Amino acid sequence: MDLLDTLTAKGLRRELPTREEALAVLATTDDELLDVVAAAGKVRRQWFGRRVKLNYLVNLKSGLCPEDCSYCSQRLGSKAEILKYTWLKPEQAAEAAAAGLAGGAKRVCLVASGRGPTDRDIDRVADTIAAIKDANEQVEVCACLGLLSDNQAERLKAAGADAYNHNLNTSEATYGDITTTHTYADRVDTVQKAHGAGLSACSGLIAGMGESDEDLVDVVFALRDLGSDSVPVNFLIPFEGTPLAQEWNLSPQRCLRILAMVRFVCPDIEVRIAGGREVHLRSLQPLGLEIANSIFLGDYLTSEGQAGQADLDMIKDAGFTVEGADERTLPRHRADAVAGGCGGASASPCGTEAHACGTGGCGPCGGHAEPAEAAAEVKDLIEAESSDEARTDLVRVRRRGAGTELAPNA
């Protein structure tokens, strides 16, 4: 298929596809799906080998948010029966984080509901970061606290935060359809503040909210232009009690095409399968690992994921390995750019004579054969998941871990 050959070649060179090419990926048929996954997989393996980075969420403050984001179970006016609690103490958050780290996570994501943090909230999070890093100095910490005011990103950086997450979620053209209490520009400004303070920018999207293919391509190109180092791809969890509770627009095949499109646009960027993978990818989750190089371990903010051990078994059974704390996630040229060294989005692609980052290459390169028998098994799985029936039974509210007395899932 000429399209996939072109996209694979561009991905191996870190060359941006055209919007038309990205749209064409989303328009491919189910009969072409294995070819799409295989092509995106070649790009993924070029830059990330067969490593899977594990991330672990700790919900520091749950529910009662004043913002009206239609997709969120914590929104203003939400009737979703989620856990609601105020700030965890630093030692409580550190204990929750330890469960994820014991399960193999190398990044802890500290999340708090709300429009944005106060200066006192920044102090709380700083104490929490210290408590987590005192127990494990190698751990990466990503904060996700909403819209940032001036100098707050710098304070988080000084406190030991490594990254800041703030998703764009959808295209600028349709942002007003899902949120009215803040703007798309507000979100872009926060990502830029984080970047400017020296934090690694983590910013992604939510698919399945009724958006068009053009909206998906627009937001992914915007994320690429913003310089996101990691792109979480969320698949909408239609919580009862939220305005989008009836938006069941995704199939496992659609999710894989979206992941592949993101990979082609962001070939050397950490692509993370985030919320909703168990609900929408279901038995095709291992195919998602062929495209993305990062997932969340265990539960999410207000919903339950599959058992942490099941995540680890899936990774092993699919022939991948969990990325170790001493392994670099990003290819060398991007890691150096984050640290203020050479490389970056405009650096010369891996394998060219103009390679700018010295010896050692840009990451694990080389392809892997796809056994015919494995491909046949995958084809059977794809056909088995070809159903338009919504799996509402897979949406489960989190009742364990942070904010409860029950052990977390990790």
pLDDT digits (tens, 9 = 90+) for 31-63: 999 999 999 999 999 999 999 999 999 999 988
Residue 342 has pLDDT above 60, yes or no: no
332: tokens are 């060398």
Question: pLDDT category, 15, cuts 50, 70, 90?
Answer: very high
Question: pLDDT category, 370, cuts 50, 70, 90?
Answer: very low
Q: In the block, which residue shows the tokens 């909230």? A: 121
Mean pLDDT of 315-343: 83
What local confidence, expressed as pLDDT, does residue 368 receive? 40
pLDDT in tens, 71-130: 888 787 777 777 788 899 999 999 999 999 999 999 999 999 899 999 999 999 999 999
Q: Domain spans of the chain? A: 2-330+386-394
- Hey, which residues are catalytic here? 65, 69, 72, 109, 142, 202, 272
pTM: 0.86
Question: pLDDT category, 356, cuts 50, 70, 90?
Answer: very low
What local confidence, expressed as pLDDT, does residue 363 receive? 37
Residue 283 has pLDDT above 80, yes or no: yes
For residues 16 and 391, which has the higher predicted lDDT (pLDDT)? 16
Fold of 2-330+386-394: TIM Barrel (3.20.20)
